[in-house]
């Protein structure tokens, strides 16, 4: 490539990969569960994300090839484990892209006064959005970098404006509704215990996910082994400060609206001023479009990375004259739209599925970094790596322990069942089927296909 992403573009790409729909769509559910402790919950989620992000950044020092978790798992544990992590990572990223695409489409439909629950309108919007993203990527990294940087700066300005406007309103009115949140959460039957805190933290953590995607396109970055370990932590710190500021201000101004709103962009309901409302609404739109741009860059490259290692057909490893992985892009788009369609574009269901589907790589990558530090599989990692016991051993082990703890305390039954109006509980067939297909059937099918090709060769 003649043009590769530099350090600050990587920082902005990481920010763009993280700040998307989460902070605009999910704060109400976090506040409902955590009450006045919501800012603390977001801080806990930020710490968890930062620990994992440092693990991913440390792994990037040892393995510079694209694919992120796939490349790290392959280098640490061999082809078979790497293959499984790569396929499941690709499925998880595709699901996440489907969530983000659905969010931006529903927001656009709302802005134009349409029915954002219309299956037909959302499907048409999905296809139009993917065509736009295709055009952006077809023109190569230079246009992508420009749009990525502009959208990232735009969403940061929108969120900072939200905080500033909130502070002005609080100072002008002298009214602070922060303590009212306790009565609202009590009315919803939520009591604060360890299980509730864990579920609230996982819900808040959704707003920080995306850092693991930043390294997927490392082949298109300048010195990724040096720039990624510095860029990812910087991005996490900036985002944590902004998120906690947004949540705190929102709870002070109008916690009732935050909890009870039916708006697609929950933060819009907080303010009465139309100008501020529009800043948040269009800022959310820019944010969600920007994260779709970031997803269109990183997600197809996960599939491409697996093809480059000859673990799936080389057909996915073909690029256009402008250096764009078109075939991988089209395949990713199809998966990204099929899953939301099967859930009838229900945001709650696909957000939950998206969150759960990421956790396997949060178990594998920290262990991989520790193995790299102690010199396992030296032939698979870069030479002369500057090792650091704190970032390469302590942080990964903390991340591993936190991940296991959250998985144990996660409400698996609640998230894979549906409670009807009369209180009857039934299995969520779509969610269960999606996990079985994505994590068992598809990896096994591709593994045996790849293995049979090697045997014939």
pLDDT at position 219: 65
The mean per-residue pLDDT over the stretch 301-327 comes to 81
Min mean pLDDT across 8-17, 81-90, 209-218, 260-269 is at: 209-218
pLDDT at position 99: 79
CA 363 → CA 72, 88, 240, distances in Å? Answer: 12, 13, 23
Taking a C-beta distance cutoff of 8 angstroms, is the pair 13, 169 a contact?
Answer: no
Higher pLDDT, 341 or 43: 43
Give alpha helix (H) positions in 218-318. 224-253, 255-260, 274-308
Residue 128 has pLDDT above 90, yes or no: yes
Q: Which helix (H) or strand (E) holds 425?
A: strand 425-427
Enumerate the domain spans of the chain.
7-456
pLDDT at position 187: 47
Per-residue pLDDT band at 369 (split at 50, 70, 90): very high
Higher pLDDT, 357 or 392: 392
pLDDT at position 192: 65
Q: Return mean pLDDT, the chain.
A: 80
DSSP label of 179? G
The mean per-residue pLDDT over the stretch 366-386 comes to 84
Highest mean pLDDT among 187-196, 219-228, 248-257: 248-257
Residue 5 has pLDDT above 60, yes or no: yes
CA distance 330 to 336: 10
Residue 366 has pLDDT above 90, yes or no: yes
Residue 89 has pLDDT above 70, yes or no: yes
Highest mean pLDDT among 52-66, 210-224, 349-363: 52-66
Topology classification of domain 7-456: Amino acid/polyamine transporter I (1.20.1740)
Residue 217 has pLDDT above 70, yes or no: no
Residue 2 has pLDDT above 60, yes or no: no
DSSP label of 270? G
Percent of the chain with pLDDT over 90: 7
Percent of the chain with pLDDT over 70: 88
DSSP, collapsed to helix, strand or coil, labels residue 447 as: helix
pLDDT at position 97: 84
Residue 455 has pLDDT above 60, yes or no: no
DSSP label of 168? H
pLDDT at position 26: 66
Taking a C-beta distance cutoff of 8 angstroms, is the pair 350, 106 a contact?
Answer: no
Q: How far is CA 330 from the centre of its chain?
A: 20
CA distance 320 to 338: 25
Tokens read off for 267: 């933060």
CA 122 → CA 5, 93, 96, 118, distances in Å? Answer: 33, 20, 16, 6
Residue 21 has pLDDT above 70, yes or no: no
pLDDT at position 124: 92
- 419 φ, ψ (degrees, to nearest 5): -100, 120
Q: For 24-64, how does the pLDDT look when each residue is reduced to its tens digit (9 = 90+)?
A: 766 777 888 888 888 998 999 888 888 888 888 888 888 87
CA distance 161 to 279: 8
CA distance 431 to 353: 7
CA distance 447 to 450: 5
Torsion angle, alpha carbons of 281, 287, 293, 297, to 10: -160
Residue 166 has pLDDT above 90, yes or no: no
CA 88 → CA 24, 299, 350, distances in Å? Answer: 27, 12, 16
Taking a C-beta distance cutoff of 8 angstroms, is the pair 118, 107 a contact?
Answer: no
Per-residue pLDDT band at 352 (split at 50, 70, 90): low
Residue 66 has pLDDT above 60, yes or no: yes
Min mean pLDDT across 331-335, 386-390, 427-431 is at: 427-431
pLDDT at position 162: 82
Min mean pLDDT across 16-25, 152-161, 367-376 is at: 16-25
pLDDT at position 397: 95
Per-residue pLDDT band at 1 (split at 50, 70, 90): very low
Q: For 171-211, how does the pLDDT look when each residue is reduced to its tens digit (9 = 90+)?
A: 888 878 887 776 766 545 456 677 778 878 887 887 887 77
Residue 442 has pLDDT above 50, yes or no: yes
């Amino acid at each position: 490539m003649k043009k590769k992403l530099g350090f600050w573009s990587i920082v902005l790409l990481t920010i763009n990969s993280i700040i998307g729909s989460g902070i605009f769509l999910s704060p109400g559910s976090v506040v409902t569960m955590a009450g006045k402790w919501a800012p603390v919950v977001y801080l806990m989620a930020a710490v968890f994300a930062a620990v994992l992000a440092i693990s991913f950044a440390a792994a990037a020092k040892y393995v510079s090839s694209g694919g992120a978790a796939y490349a790290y798992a392959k280098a640490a544990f061999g082809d078979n484990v790497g293959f499984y992590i790569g396929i499941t990572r690709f499925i998880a990223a595709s699901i996440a892209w489907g969530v983000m695409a659905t969010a931006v489409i529903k927001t656009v439909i709302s802005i134009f006064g349409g029915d954002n629950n219309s299956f037909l309108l959302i499907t048409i919007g999905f296809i139009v959005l993917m065509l736009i993203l295709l055009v952006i990527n077809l023109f190569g990294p230079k246009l992508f970098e420009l749009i990525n940087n502009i959208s990232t700066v735009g969403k940061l300005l929108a969120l900072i404006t939200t905080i500033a406007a909130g502070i002005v309103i609080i100072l002008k009115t002298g009214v602070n509704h922060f303590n009212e949140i306790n009565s609202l959460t009590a009315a919803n039957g939520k009591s604060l215990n360890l299980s509730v805190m864990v579920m609230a933290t996982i819900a808040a953590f959704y707003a920080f996910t995306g850092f693991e995607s930043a390294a997927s396109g490392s082949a298109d970055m300048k010195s990724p082994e040096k720039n990624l370990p510095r860029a990812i932590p910087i991005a996490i710190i900036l985002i944590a400060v902004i998120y906690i500021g947004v949540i705190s201000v929102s709870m002070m101004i109008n916690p009732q609206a935050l909890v009870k709103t039916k708006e697609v962009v929950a933060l819009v309901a907080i303010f009465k001023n139309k100008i501020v409302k529009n800043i948040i609404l269009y800022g959310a739109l820019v944010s969600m479009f920007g994260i779709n741009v970031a997803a269109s860059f990183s997600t197809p490259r996960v599939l491409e990375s697996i093809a480059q290692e000859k673990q799936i057909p080389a057909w996915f490893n073909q690029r256009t004259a402008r250096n764009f992985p078109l075939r991988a892009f089209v395949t990713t788009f199809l998966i990204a739209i099929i899953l939301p369609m099967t859930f009838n574009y229900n945001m709650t269901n696909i957000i939950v599925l998206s969150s759960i589907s990421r956790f396997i790589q949060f178990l594998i990558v920290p262990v991989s970094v520790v193995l790299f530090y102690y010199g396992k599989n030296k032939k698979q990692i870069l030479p002369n790596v500057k090792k650091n016991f704190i970032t390469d051993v302590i942080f990964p082990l903390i991340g591993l322990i936190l991940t296991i703890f959250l998985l144990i305390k996660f409400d698996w039954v609640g998230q894979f069942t549906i409670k009807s109006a009369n209180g009857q509980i039934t299995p969520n067939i779509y969610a269960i089927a999606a996990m079985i297909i994505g994590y068992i059937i598809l990896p096994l099918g591709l593994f045996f296909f790849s293995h049979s090709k090697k045997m014939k060769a």
